[in-house]
Amino acid sequence: MRVLHFYKTYFPESVGGVEQVIRQMCVGTGRLGVRNEVLTLTRQKEKRDVEFEGHKVRLLPLDFEISSTGFSLAAFGELARMAEEADVVHYHFPWPFMDLAHFISRIKKPSLVTYHSDIVRQKQLLRLYQPLKHRFLQSVDTIVATSPNYMASSAVLDRYRDKTRVITYGLDKTIYPEPDQARMDKWRAQIGERFFLFVGVLRYYKGLHILLDAVANTDYPVVIVGAGPIESELKAHAERLGLTHVLFVGALDEADKVALLTLCYALVFPSHLRSEAFGISLLEGAMYGKPMISSEIGTGTTYINIDAETGLVVPPSDPQAFGDAMRKLWDNPELAQAMGERAEARYWELFTAEQMAKSYTALYHELVAHHATVALAQVQA
């Protein structure tokens, strides 16, 4: 079984939530006999192939961008050639160029799309894109929603309910590095024994301005891991508020990130818009047994974090409520510990990479078998 994944960014050049999910899919299904390839774009000028954790990544030069949508003219022919050798083409939505490439490359192989998120921000361009989007979603064999919550709340997915199924994200804890004692000691010395942790790309929908407002007039240590387009804006906001107890540490390697996940008291995840469709770093917090604080935005974040069970869930864009939740966990260590234990138990029950890999591998085989049956019926007719 050969599967071709197509998405705008991927390792080793980009480390984000969707990239992490594709990585976990490739590694997990690879253990079940699937040969995965990833076709993606690069800001470098040359096409190149990279071997990454047992699967091939083909990077094509990015030609230009429109509203954060990357375009590559070379991708049309490359997608057609690689799809010809694949049994299944696995798309990752949203990426409008991908929809266009699907039709121009005349893909006829069994296909599915993992629907990672609605398009939320680009309202004007979305109107222009709507016909192509719906034609694309109609053309693929299966759509995969990433949580029952997102399936229930997405107007787009509701339109395709008859061809959509739910396969939640999963993580494999064994591929995360084990931080050495010196690294752990370094962070303890720098931050202390108790702190709240945020991990993620610093984007507009992450709600970090809400977190900063929430900890104004408190002394709770907060560590923010990540870089991104609004980093300088957030640092300026923290400086205006006089938040000397908030530490921006930038993008870290996996070992440092795991050290902080291991050491932190609780994970904070203030995303306030539906662009946050799931929350991989939230799931990482659960995997490491941490209580969580998140907002109710009708997406997978509240499938990971169950209010009063694995953590606390508050209304979005409400610094007062978010700060109250932080205070509740900070002042009740036994409650925080119990929530963290239940969060980890829920991870092992629902969110392992092994479960995700088994579900996708079964779907791949189902799609190939269905196409073979249809082709045979057409021949006999």
- Residue 128: the pLDDT is 82
The pLDDT confidence band at residue 291, using thresholds 50, 70 and 90, is very high
The pLDDT confidence band at residue 126, using thresholds 50, 70 and 90, is low
Task: Please give the sequence-ordered ranges of beta strands (E in DSSP) within 154-195, or none if there are none.
Answer: 164-166
Pick from 89, 87, 1: nearest CA to 39: 89
C-beta of residue 25 within 8 angstroms of C-beta of residue 360: yes
Same domain, 274 and 360: no
- Residues 24 and 233: their CA atoms lie apart, in Å, by 32
Q: Is 12 exposed, middle or buried (0-12, 13-18, 19+ CB in 10 A)?
A: exposed
Summarize pLDDT for 143-183 with one digit per residue, the tens.
999 999 999 999 999 999 999 999 999 999 998 999 999 99
Same domain, 63 and 192: no
Same domain, 65 and 17: yes
- Residues 244 and 238: their CA atoms lie apart, in Å, by 8
Same domain, 244 and 320: yes
Same domain, 80 and 162: yes
Residues in Cβ contact with 86 at an 8 Å cutoff, skipping those fewer than 6 apart: 2, 3, 4, 37, 109
Same domain, 300 and 370: no
Residue 212 above 80 pLDDT? yes
pTM for the full model? 0.90
Same domain, 164 and 192: no
Work out how many domains the chain is built from and give that number.
2
Task: Please give the sequence-ordered ranges of beta strands (E in DSSP) within 167-295, or none if there are none.
Answer: 196-199, 222-225, 246-250, 266-269, 292-295
Domain hosting 138: range is: 2-172+353-380
C-beta of residue 312 within 8 angstroms of C-beta of residue 282: no
Averaged pLDDT, 265-283: 94
- Residue 119: the pLDDT is 83
Min mean pLDDT across 117-121, 232-236, 367-371 is at 117-121
Average pLDDT, the chain: 95
CATH number at residue 168: 3.40.50.2000
Summarize pLDDT for 13-60 with one digit per residue, the tens.
887 889 989 999 999 999 999 999 999 999 999 999 999 999 999 999
The DSSP call for residue 251 is S
Same domain, 81 and 9: yes
Averaged pLDDT, 72-88: 97
Same domain, 200 and 331: yes
Same domain, 165 and 205: no
Summarize pLDDT for 302-329 with one digit per residue, the tens.
999 999 999 999 999 999 999 999 999 9
The pLDDT confidence band at residue 124, using thresholds 50, 70 and 90, is low
Could you tell me what percent of the chain has a pLDDT over 70?
Answer: 98
Same domain, 225 and 87: no
C-beta of residue 355 within 8 angstroms of C-beta of residue 172: no
Locate 127 and state its tokens.
Answer: 């109107």
Pick from 227, 230, 243: nearest CA to 323: 243
Same domain, 215 and 333: yes
Residue 3 above 80 pLDDT? yes
